[in-house]
C-alpha cells in the first residue's frame, strides 16, 4: 500500500509543485514589467533600491521555472546533457537571485525582524546550491541530488512565503506586519524541515527494499 501511494502520489504532487513554481515565476516576471503603484509599500520602497530588485526577481523567477525541470526524473535519465545545461542555468539564477536577495534584506518591510530571516535565507540558498554543483562535478551524484533538493526547497520559499501571507491575512485576517515577519522565517525553515524529512523517508525506504539475488554472480 505504501509503495502504491509513493508511486502514484508523486504525479499529482509533482504537478502541483510545477504549477506553483510556474505561477510564482510568472508573478515575479510580471512584477518587473508591471506599472509602478505608489500606494504599494513594496513598490515604493523598491523603487529607490536600484538593480538589486530586478536582479532578485529575475534570478528567483528563473530558478523557479527551472526547479521542476531539475527534479524531472525522465529528463535526467533520457537527456542528461539537457539536465546539466538546465542545472548550470539554475545555479546562475540562484547566484543572481541570492546575492540580490542578500542586498535587499535590510530594506524588507518590518526592518531587521523580517530582514534577518531573508538575510539568512540568501547564504543558505547559495551554499546548498554551490555544494550541489560541487558534488555533481566530483561525480558524487547521491550527495549532489540531496543538496539540490535542499536548494530547490529554498527556491520554493518564494511560494511558501505567499501561501503564508495569503492564509494569514486572507483567511485568518491577521495584521500584515506580524504575518510578514513570521513568513520571512517560516517560508524557508518549514521547507527545509519537510525536505529533510522526505530525504530521510526516502533513504529509509531504500534500505528496506530487499536486494534481488544476482543469478549471474550465483552462477
What is the domain extent for residue 166? 2-207
Residue 218 lies in a domain: no
Residue 131 lies in a domain: yes
Residue 214 lies in a domain: no
Give the total number of structural domains in the chain.
Answer: 1
Residue 44 lies in a domain: yes
Is this model's pTM higher than 0.75 or not? yes
Residue 219 lies in a domain: no
Q: What is the pLDDT of residue 219?
A: 36
The candidate with the shortest Cα–Cα distance to 160, out of 178, 182, 186, is 186
Q: What is the pLDDT of residues 17-74, one digit of tens each?
A: 999 999 999 988 887 776 656 666 666 666 666 788 889 999 999 999 999 998 887 7
Q: What is the pLDDT of residue 214?
A: 43
Q: How far apart are CA 6 and CA 8, in angstroms?
A: 6
Residue 213 lies in a domain: no
Residue 73 lies in a domain: yes
Q: Counting Cβ atoms within 10 Å, is residue 137 exposed (0-12), middle (13-18) or buried (19+)?
A: exposed
Amino acid at each position: 500500500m505504501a509503495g502504491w501511494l509513493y508511486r502514484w502520489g508523486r504525479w499529482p504532487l509533482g504537478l502541483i509543485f510545477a504549477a506553483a513554481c510556474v505561477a510564482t515565476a510568472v508573478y515575479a516576471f510580471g512584477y518587473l514589467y508591471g506599472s509602478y503603484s505608489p500606494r504599494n509599500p513594496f513598490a515604493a520602497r523598491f523603487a529607490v533600491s536600484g538593480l538589486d530588485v530586478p536582479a532578485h526577481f529575475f534570478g528567483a523567477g528563473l530558478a523557479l521555472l527551472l526547479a521542476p525541470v531539475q527534479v524531472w526524473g525522465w529528463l535526467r535519465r533520457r537527456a542528461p546533457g539537457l539536465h546539466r545545461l538546465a542545472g548550470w542555468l539554475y545555479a546562475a539564477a540562484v547566484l543572481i537571485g541570492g546575492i540580490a536577495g542578500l542586498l535587499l534584506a535590510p530594506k524588507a518591510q518590518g526592518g531587521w525582524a523580517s530582514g534577518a530571516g531573508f538575510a539568512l535565507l540568501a547564504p543558505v540558498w547559495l551554499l546548498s546550491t554551490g555544494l550541489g554543483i560541487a558534488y555533481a562535478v566530483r561525480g558524487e551524484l547521491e550527495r549532489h541530488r540531496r543538496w539540490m533538493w535542499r536548494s530547490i526547497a529554498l527556491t520554493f520559499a518564494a511560494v511558501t512565503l505567499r501561501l503564508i501571507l495569503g492564509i494569514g491575512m486572507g483567511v485568518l485576517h491577521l495584521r500584515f506586519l506580524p504575518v510578514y515577519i513570521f513568513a520571512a522565517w517560516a517560508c524557508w525553515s518549514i521547507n527545509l524541515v519537510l525536505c529533510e524529512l522526505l530525504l530521510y523517508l526516502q533513504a529509509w525506504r531504500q534500505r528496506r527494499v530487499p536486494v534481488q539475488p544476482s543469478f549471474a554472480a550465483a552462477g
